[in-house]
């Protein structure tokens, strides 16, 4: 009998850095099924709310698309209120029978706030303006924290940190998608 964990979708590294009046979210493009890379150029970072919000996801792809759609609806209901929209989404995520089964995490940001969202009801602001999720998230987070005080801007930190994560984490590749906003 095959190990259940070997058939689960693994992957990703999503990193968010807020520095120098800019917020940047970057993610790799690898999707793995067990020990096999099934896609190398997935787009896990995108713009929402007519470009006013950027977000990235880690977890099951279909679940993430569902959550992005739900977040879009909350952003329409609460325009310009990212925190409120996220709190309302995570309330639904925790209490709705269907949504509770979704396996994903999200990083989202607008010009003012950066947040991590999870199905356990977490709506967290990053410490020091840096946060990461996914299987390679801790590698990217460590690299970004080490680079935070350097001369590099937010985008350069995200690119370099994701490259470092790709060198270490087998579920992360160097095919990176970046989105950014001026603060």
Backbone angles phi, psi at 150, to 5 degrees: -80, 180
Which residue numbers are catalytic? 12
Question: What does DSSP assign to residue 61?
Answer: H
Strands (E), the chain: 9-10, 14-19, 22-27, 31-33, 36-39, 45-48, 53-59, 104-109, 114-118, 123-124, 130-133, 177-182
Counted residue by residue, the chain has a size of 183
Question: What does DSSP assign to residue 12?
Answer: -
């Amino acid at each position: 009998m095959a190990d259940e964990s070997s058939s689960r979708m693994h992957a990703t590294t999503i990193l968010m850095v807020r520095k120098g009046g800019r917020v940047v979210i970057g993610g790799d493009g690898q999707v793995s099924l067990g020990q096999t890379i099934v896609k190398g150029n997935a787009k896990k970072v995108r713009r929402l709310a007519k470009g006013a919000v950027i977000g990235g996801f880690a977890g099951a792809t279909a679940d993430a698309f569902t959550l992005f759609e739900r977040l879009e609806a909350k952003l329409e209901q609460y325009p310009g209120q990212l925190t409120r929209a996220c709190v309302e989404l995570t309330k639904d995520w925790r209490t709705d029978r269907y949504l509770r089964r979704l396996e994903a995490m999200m990083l989202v940001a607008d010009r003012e706030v950066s947040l991590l969202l999870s199905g356990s009801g977490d709506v967290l602001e990053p410490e020091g303006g840096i946060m990461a999720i996914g299987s390679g998230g801790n590698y990217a987070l460590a690299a970004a924290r080490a680079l935070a005080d350097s001369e590099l801007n937010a985008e350069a930190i995200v690119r370099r940190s994701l490259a470092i994560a790709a060198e270490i984490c087998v579920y992360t590749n160097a095919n990176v998608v970046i989105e950014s906003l001026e603060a």
